[in-house]
Amino acid sequence: MPFDTELTRRLGIKVPIVQGGMQYVGYAELAAAVSNAGGLGILTALTQPTPDDLRKEIQKTRTMTKNPFGVNITLLPTLQPPDYGAYAQAVIDEGIKIVETAGNSPGPVITKLKKAGVIILHKCTTIRHAQSAIKLGVDFLSIDGFECAGHVGESDITNFILLSKARQTLKVPFIASGGFADGQGLAAALCLGAEGINMGTRFMCTVEAPIHQKIKEEIVKAQETDTALVMRRWTNTTRLYRNKVTDAVIKIERDSKTGEFAEIAPYVSGKRGRQVFTNGDPDYGVWTAGQVIGLIHDIPTCDVLVKRIEKEAEETLTSKLKLAKPKLSLHPAIGQPALRNKLSLYPSPEDYLLPYRLALQLIAFPNRPHGNALSILAVPLKEHDLVSPPRLLIIVVVIRPLVPPLAQQDELPRQREPRGLR
Ligand SMILES: Cc1cc2nc3c(=O)[nH]c(=O)nc-3n(C[C@H](O)[C@H](O)[C@H](O)COP(=O)(O)O)c2cc1C
Dihedral pair phi/psi, residue 180, rounded to 5°: -105, 135
Q: What's the CA gap between 110 and 88, in Å, rounded?
A: 9
Contact of 196 with 140, CB cutoff 8 Å: no
To the nearest 10 degrees (0 to 180), the angle between helices 302-321 and 28-36 is 40
Contact 199 CB / ligand 1 (< 6 Å): yes
Q: What's the CA gap between 39 and 310, in Å, rounded?
A: 10
Q: How many CB atoms lie within 10 A of CB 152?
A: 24
Contacts of residue 147, Cβ cutoff 8 Å, sequence gap at least 6? 158, 159, 178, 179, 239, 290, 291, 292
Could you read off the pLDDT of 369-386 as tens digits, one per residue?
544 444 444 444 444 444
Q: What pLDDT sits at residue 2?
A: 82
Which residue, judged by its Cα, is nearest atom 1 of ligand 1? Answer: 288
Could you read off the pLDDT of 176-196 as tens digits, one per residue?
999 999 999 999 999 999 999
Contact 19 CB / ligand 1 (< 6 Å): no
The domain locations on the chain are: 6-216+298-319, 227-288, 332-407
Give the CATH superfamily of 6-216+298-319.
Answer: Aldolase class I (3.20.20.70)
To the nearest 10 degrees (0 to 180), the angle between helices 183-191 and 302-321 is 50
pLDDT mean across residues, the chain: 86
- Nearest to residue 40, comparing CAs of 163, 164, 175? 175
Answer with the residue of higher pLDDT: 396 or 414.
396
Helices (H), 192-243: 201-204, 213-221
**Per DSSP, what are the bridge partners of residue 74?**
102
Contact of 275 with 252, CB cutoff 8 Å: no
Residue burial 238-251, b: 16+ Cβ < 10 Å; e: rest: bbbbbbebbeebbe
Which residue, judged by its Cα, is nearest atom 5 of ligand 1? Answer: 22
Dihedral pair phi/psi, residue 142, rounded to 5°: -115, 105
Q: What's the CA gap between 7 and 88, in Å, rounded?
A: 22
| Top mutation candidate among 17, 19, 23 for ligand 1, by most atoms within 8 Å of CB | 23
Whether pLDDT at 110 is above 70? yes
Q: What's the CA gap between 100 and 121, in Å, rounded?
A: 5
Contact 288 CB / ligand 1 (< 6 Å): yes
Residue 274, SS3 per DSSP:
helix
Which residue, judged by its Cα, is nearest atom 8 of ligand 1? Answer: 23
Contact of 33 with 301, CB cutoff 8 Å: yes
**N-to-C CA span, the chain:** 46
Contact 238 CB / ligand 1 (< 6 Å): no
Contacts of residue 48, Cβ cutoff 8 Å, sequence gap at least 6? 54, 56, 57
Find the mean pLDDT for residues 59-69: 98
Residue 150 alpha carbon to ligand 1 centre in Å: 6
Measured from the Cα of 292, ligand 1's closest atom is: 26
Find the mean pLDDT for residues 19-31: 98
Q: What pLDDT sits at residue 328?
A: 52
**Per DSSP, what are the bridge partners of residue 240?**
228, 288
Side chain identity at 377, as an amino acid letter?
L
Contact of 356 with 406, CB cutoff 8 Å: no
Contact 148 CB / ligand 1 (< 6 Å): yes
Residue 199 alpha carbon to ligand 1 centre in Å: 8
**Per DSSP, what are the bridge partners of residue 41?**
69
CA-CA distances (angstroms) from residue 420 to 90, 329, 416, 417?
62, 39, 12, 9
Answer with the residue of higher pLDDT: 211 or 384.
211
- Nearest to residue 148, comparing CAs of 138, 137, 136, 156? 156
Contact 201 CB / ligand 1 (< 6 Å): yes
Residue 55 alpha carbon to ligand 1 centre in Å: 22
Residue 142 alpha carbon to ligand 1 centre in Å: 12
Contact 75 CB / ligand 1 (< 6 Å): no
> CA-CA-CA-CA torsion for 358, 359, 364, 365, nearest 10 degrees?
50
Could you read off the pLDDT of 336-363 as tens digits, one per residue?
555 445 444 444 555 556 656 666 666 6
Contact 227 CB / ligand 1 (< 6 Å): no
- Nearest to residue 177, comparing CAs of 165, 189, 166? 189
Measured from the Cα of 180, ligand 1's closest atom is: 27
Could you read off the pLDDT of 279-302 as tens digits, one per residue?
999 999 999 999 999 999 999 999
